[in-house]
A and B are shown apart, each in its own frame.
Chain A
Amino acid sequence: MKRSVPLIITFLTGFFLVVAFFVPHEPFGELEQRLLVWFAIVSGFTMLLGIDNLIRSHARRIARTNTGWGHSIVLLMGLVVTVVVGVIGFSRLGSPFHIHSPFMFVYTHVIVPLQGTMFALLAFFIASASYRAFRARNTVATLLLISALIVMLGRIPIGAAISDFFPAAQEWIMDVPQLAAKRGIQIGAALGAVSMSLRIILGIERSYLS
């Protein structure tokens, strides 16, 4: 019961999705769309589990006054305020995503700058990592270094100012060798995913039950 029912559910959902792909007629035709809606609903509930975990973990930190407990208060307050303004936006304007909703104020003036700056910060860390990684120790490492430099120079105005070679070479690298390796990796990864999916549907791979 504890293991066989989940295995049957996995088999049936996976099997019907594959059948719906190859038999786009009644009763399978709309089954894929229906299962995808169901998937979105079930996944939505998992959000509650994640939020619960986050709240418990930080509430515990506050209760025990562990290091950084003040930051946990900020985190929980941010969470609560965002949810509250979302509910206010929904009740007053019909949608939390209404342009005049306080929820959109939080999105525009808190989430966007925090997210943008957090990712922008990565530029410095990537540059720092490249200083360590980009050493022409052997032929292939030199290739990595040269292609990265050409792409970087080719995508900024100074590259074109130095020579027309950089924008053209950048475009060629992105369109030919870069695309070739990316395509090879994608085909390999997709075939791997297909075989893993088959293992899951057939019940050979069961690690998700543990």
Chain B
Amino acid sequence: MKTKPIIWGSLALGLLAGQAAAEGQLNIYNWGNYIAPDLVTKFEAEHDVKVTVTEYDSSDTALAKIQAGGHGFDIWIGSSAYVPIYVQEGLLAESLPNQMENFAHLAPKWVDVEFDPGRSYTIPWLWGTVGITVNTDMYKGEINTAALLFDTPDELKGKVNVVPEMRDVMGLAIYYLGGTDLCTDDKELLVKVRDLLVKAKENWISMDYSTLEQMVNGDYAATMDWNGPAMRARLQNPAIHYGYAATGYPTWMDNAAILADAQNAENARLFMNFMMDPENAAILSNFTRYANGVAGSEPFMDPEMLDAPEIKVPAEFAENTYFARTCSPEIEKIYSRIWTDVKK
């Protein structure tokens, strides 16, 4: 019976860890490690509200949970490509952030956006691009091309990682083959995209989300990546540079919105307003290494962020981008089939 003390001990320990109730509450559903802890503390102090951040790992898992209901979240933070789906499915409250006090601080470019015209549901969280991070000690050639991924040069064969984000990879490949529309229904082109990707995969070492450590320690010589990790990698190893696919690369934005079944809607509104304050937006950017959508946040940002080539898109590539969005279900179905053939 000598294990009994262990059992009861751990049970008691467990019960002690039960949750304490607070008066004002706010539940945020966010990507992992995507909010500055300082920001949470600051908001809690200013408004006497206990903030709980719960994390997700995949946009579709998050969507499924919010659709199912009974989740307890007040604020969802997620991709612009999903905002129209959330609105169409009636999952967001029309919280009219465009009438909040701090709305005037938003950069004009991010006010009248395609996925939420005039911002009746969402506020900007962070935005960025998808590109190719290259260790220039290991590869000396041109880095501003998607050919590194799709027609991998010999020096990089077996050393390139591709982040398995279906819609970004498909988009990069479509534009690489001369397409002009992310959601193309040109089936001949899509067959070419499939053949390109299936063949290109032979030269990829992996299709993995985590890239920072592998880039820094040299396991990867290049990877498709978001600009945030690219900057973190460069700060740890100056030989690492971020390339933009000249044929066309995605720009994306994550947004915050109040859910239709939020139980703490009033606190959620306070938080939305709070996040449009330039100083707070800057705290978020400094932590995540992504740009925010609030004008006037620059004075509060780390100096190294202001002129970072990963964040400030070089003028020559500024026009070569397309905005990430969700395609029609019919097109997505074809994408799925191609993606299964690629990933198997």
A, B in one complex: no
Binding site for A on B (CB under 8 A): none
